[in-house]
């Protein structure tokens, strides 16, 4: 059988290698290579989706790596990772299309994005804990250089803060992986074995879980380890912000499910009330701080903290639920939220970047009446904003509805996090009114509306936002086939 998982995984890396081997290539050819290889990876992801996933892992490909340590090249997917692989491939492809206008050091820019794509997909398909950690760390390298090399004014500081936070935050995960390895009998890094028979109990399991939480909370991020995120988003180039919010934050939430929930379930159950409390505070904090922003990009960045809080709440509910139906409902919603947030927030960062490219400012107070001048951009922003605030019929609503419905049966007090939805609605309505409604200012009358390249990158994300809102079963059926077998 064709090893489609490995082909999809390494196609972007092959594209990066081609660019490295062609030092004199023009910017146009570099972008053509980037779009081609990310497009081929997207086709591979669709092929994987067509193959489907069941209750356990499938499409497994395995080659011996370090037999004496029980480490191997093991990749595969289940109903949790498969939608995330497809989401990742889509976001990288549209980012490559949008980035075709970048001319400064285009070869390096495209090569770094392709390297980052392989590392990101690798996290979701890895079935060996050491392989997972390798891919998890390589994502830091790609994003660091993208922010530092092509970001805005304060990009060097933002990139360094991002790298230090996430590098140091990753070290506890390595200790947890070693503890899982030493606790297993026979010793193995095979994630399937570690999930089927969690090797740690008691204090050892609790300490390993705490180490995992530190790593994944930094990556997600939740308060108080979120402070790297706003600067990284604000200073990153537009496509970098799309990938950072749409993909890299999900590495943390995916790890929370794959490692914390599945490999230390009893310890997670005991600490779930604390995790749920942190999630609720983080969701409310993100919403209220976003409300205080006047910079559109910083506002969208803080709404990510808000939405990630809901997602962590869903995983905590799944860990603690005495009724497996409530737990599965919340976990289904959390996985759907990962996908929905990727498309919705990716679209919002694209739109803010398009606006900044035209006006060279992101301050809401500098604008007025843009809906008359750039109607396509304006209505696209309205649609994405309504999706982000949880309007029924758009992607976030079914995800958040399931999370809160599951939470009601486990942590009724956690429903206070719903207040964050009201605050998010207020901040987006304020942004729409300030930027797109009212009288148009003379200095903006010459702004051009969306071009072909921008539409090609934006329309797929908006279409998927609507599709997930009206037909969430397209993803939920795949997710549920796996999640119903996770919880006892």
pLDDT tens digits, one per residue of 15-49: 999 999 988 889 999 999 999 999 999 999 999 99
pLDDT tens digits, one per residue of 315-360: 999 999 878 888 999 999 999 999 999 999 999 999 999 999 999 8
Say what percent of the chain tops pLDDT 70: 100
pLDDT at 281: 94
The average pLDDT across 126-135 equals 96
pLDDT tens digits, one per residue of 157-207: 999 999 998 899 999 999 999 999 999 988 899 999 999 999 999 999 999
pLDDT at 488: 67
Residue 302 lies in a domain: yes
Contact call for residues 218 and 197 (beta carbons, < 8 A): no
CA dihedral sign of residues 194, 199, 205, 207: negative
pLDDT class for 81, splitting at 50, 70, 90? very high
* Token pair belonging to 294: 């006047």
Residue 328 lies in a domain: yes
Q: How far is 159 from 73, CA to CA, in rounded Å? A: 31
Chain-centroid distance, C-alpha 180: 26
Residue 312 lies in a domain: yes
Contact call for residues 194 and 184 (beta carbons, < 8 A): yes
The average pLDDT across 455-462 equals 96
Count of CB atoms situated within 10 Å of the CB of 22: 13
Residue 284 lies in a domain: yes
For the chain, what is the mean pLDDT? Answer: 93
Residue 149 lies in a domain: no
Give the predicted TM-score (pTM) of the model.
0.95
Q: How many folded domains does the chain comprise?
A: 1
pLDDT tens digits, one per residue of 361-413: 999 989 988 999 999 999 999 999 999 999 999 999 999 999 999 998 888 88
Q: How far is 287 from 292, CA to CA, in rounded Å? A: 9
- Structural domain boundaries enclosing 294: 264-488
Q: How far is 407 from 405, CA to CA, in rounded Å? A: 5
Residue 205 lies in a domain: no
Whether 423 shows a pLDDT value over 90: the answer reads yes
């Amino acid at each position: 059988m064709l090893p489609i998982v490995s082909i999809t995984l390494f196609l972007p890396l092959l594209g990066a290698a081609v660019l490295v081997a062609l030092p004199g290539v023009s910017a146009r050819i570099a972008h053509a290579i980037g779009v081609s290889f990310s497009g081929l990876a997207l086709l591979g992801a669709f092929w994987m989706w067509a193959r489907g996933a069941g209750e356990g892992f499938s499409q497994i490909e395995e080659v011996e790596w370090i037999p004496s340590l029980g480490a191997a090249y093991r990749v595969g997917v289940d109903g949790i990772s498969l939608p995330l692989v497809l989401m990742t491939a889509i976001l990288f492809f549209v980012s490559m299309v949008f980035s075709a206008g970048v001319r400064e050091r285009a070869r390096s820019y495209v090569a770094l994005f392709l390297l980052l794509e392989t590392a990101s997909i690798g996290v979701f398909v890895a079935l060996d804990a050491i392989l997972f950690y390798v891919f998890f760390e390589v994502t830091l390298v790609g994003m660091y250089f993208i922010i530092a090399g092509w970001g805005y004014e304060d990009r060097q500081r933002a990139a360094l803060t991002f790298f230090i936070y996430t590098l140091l935050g990753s070290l506890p995960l390595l200790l947890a992986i070693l503890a899982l390895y030493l606790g297993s009998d026979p010793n193995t890094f095979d994630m399937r074995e570690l999930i089927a028979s969690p090797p740690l109990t008691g204090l050892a399991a609790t300490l390993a879980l705490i180490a995992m939480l530190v790593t994944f909370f930094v990556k997600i991020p939740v308060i108080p380890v979120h402070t790297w995120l706003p600067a990284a988003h604000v200073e990153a180039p537009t496509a970098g912000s799309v990938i950072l919010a749409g993909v890299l934050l999900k590495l943390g939430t995916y790890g929370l499910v794959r490692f914390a929930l599945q490999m230390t379930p009893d310890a997670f159950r005991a600490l779930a009330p604390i995790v749920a409390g942190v999630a609720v505070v983080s969701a409310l904090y993100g919403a209220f701080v976003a409300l205080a922003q006047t910079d559109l990009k910083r506002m969208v960045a803080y709404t990510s903290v808000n939405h990630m809080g809901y997602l962590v709440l869903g995983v905590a509910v799944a860990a603690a639920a005495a009724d497996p139906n409530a737990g599965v409902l919340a976990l289904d919603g959390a996985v759907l939220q990962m996908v929905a947030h990727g498309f919705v927030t990716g679209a919002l960062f694209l739109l803010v970047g398009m606006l900044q490219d035209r006006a060279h400012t992101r301050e809401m107070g500098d604008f007025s009446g843009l809906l008359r001048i750039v109607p396509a951009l304006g209505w696209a922003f309205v649609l994405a904003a309504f999706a982000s605030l949880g309007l029924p019929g758009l992607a976030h609503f079914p995800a958040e509805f399931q999370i809160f419905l599951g939470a009601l049966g486990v942590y009724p007090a956690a429903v206070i996090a719903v207040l964050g939805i009201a605050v998010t609605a207020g901040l987006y309505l304020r942004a729409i009114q300030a930027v797109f409604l009212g009288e148009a200012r003379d200095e903006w009358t010459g702004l051009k509306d969306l071009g072909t390249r921008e539409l090609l990158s934006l329309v797929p994300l908006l279409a998927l936002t609507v599709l997930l809102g009206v037909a969430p079963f397209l993803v939920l059926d795949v997710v549920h086939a796996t999640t119903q077998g996770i919880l006892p």
